[in-house]
Amino acid sequence: MNKKDKAELLVKATRMEQLETVKYFIEEKKFDVNENATKEGYGNHYRTTALYDAVEKNYIEIVKYLLSKKAKIFVSFIMSDNVNAFFIAAAKGYIEIMKLLLETGQINMKNEEESLNAAVQEGKTEAIRFILDETCKLRLSWPRNRPIMNKALAIACEKGYENIVVMLLDAGAIMNRIPPGGTIHDIAPLTEAVKNDHKNIVRILLDRGADPNIRISWNIATPLNYIKNGNENDEMKQMLIDAGGYRSNNKCCSFGCGGRCFYDK
């Protein structure tokens, strides 16, 4: 039996929550705890390990055992470098497993922005709080050229998670900075809230000092440009205007004019 076949058996036993079988394969048959196998339902396009599957299914006792056998939290073949066991636990909101993984010493919380983003995306409040508390406990600061919580805040604003927006702001998320790169995802939190008609979040951001005229990196449209037609949006429109917001000219030359061709200022 080759190592890939062994990995498939180990992962299958994990998926079936058969702890004793997992122990037998590792201790008696000497299966490699970190060998990768096919992810169920994904073919060869996505690989997994016993630990990854145990985390995903919240099998705490199997997770504890695999970690005791030096299972790796980071495995480079898994879809992307951002998707690790801690990322999976954060996206699922499995706090106990997040704690177990952190205790291994394999995780640098300073590099866990994607785990934070995953928890925000899924609305996992306790997982978000855990990540923020751990970074605070270790007195870590996000690098200035990587405004990590800004992306998480933009996601929360897009989804309409008011409590998470407040949590991130209280933790120091920056409202008026846009990540560099010029992609479609580089949208300011206020713009996300306006685009998705989250009036209460717009109010929260403006009250906290959000720039009502912040523009996304690849366009000079302001948040007012994203107000949808309809009387139900009049209040949100007025909030932006009262805060000093103005709408950019739709016929603007975008980059060449330096932002001078606005109207309704």
Phi, psi dihedrals of residue 37, rounded to the nearest 5°: -135, 170
Statement: 1-79 belongs to CATH 3.40.1410.10:
no
CATH code of 175-265, in short, is 1.25.40.20
**pLDDT at residue 36, rounded to an integer:** 87
Evaluate the CA torsion angle 62, 63, 67, 70 in order and state its sign.
Answer: positive
Q: Is the pLDDT of residue 217 over 60?
A: no
* 53 burial via Cβ count (<10 Å: 0-12, 13-18, 19+): buried
The rounded distance, in Å, linking the Cα atoms of 37 and 175 is: 42
Half-sphere exposure of 114 (CA within 13 A, CB side): 12
**pLDDT at residue 39, rounded to an integer:** 72
pLDDT interval class at 198 (50, 70, 90): very high
| Of residues 136 and 203, more confidently modeled | 203
Indicate the SS3 state at residue 154: helix
* 26 burial via Cβ count (<10 Å: 0-12, 13-18, 19+): buried
Per-domain residue ranges of the chain: 1-79, 175-265
Structure tokens at 240: 């932006």
Indicate the SS3 state at residue 19: helix
Of these ranges, 30-39, 46-55, 61-70, 233-242, the one predicted with the greatest mean pLDDT is: 61-70
Q: Is the pLDDT of residue 28 over 60?
A: yes
Q: Taking residues 219-246, what's their average pLDDT?
A: 84
